[in-house]
Amino acid sequence: MNNNEIKDDVVTSKLIIEEITGKEVVSFCLPFGDYTRKAIEIIEDAGFKYLFMQLPLLKMAVKLRKIQLQFCRSIYSTDSVKSLQNKYQNINGEHLKEYFIHSFSNATVLVKEIL
pLDDT at 95: 75
Closest CA to 24 of 47, 2, 43, 42: 47
pLDDT at 33: 65
Closest CA to 24 of 48, 52, 42: 48
Domain range list for the chain:
1-72, 74-115
Q: Give the mean pLDDT of the chain.
A: 82
Q: In this predicted model, what pLDDT tens digit does every residue of 76-110 receive, in sequence order? A: 888 899 988 988 888 778 877 877 777 776 666 66
pLDDT at 32: 67
Q: In this predicted model, what pLDDT tens digit does every residue of 25-43 receive, in sequence order? A: 999 988 766 677 788 889 9
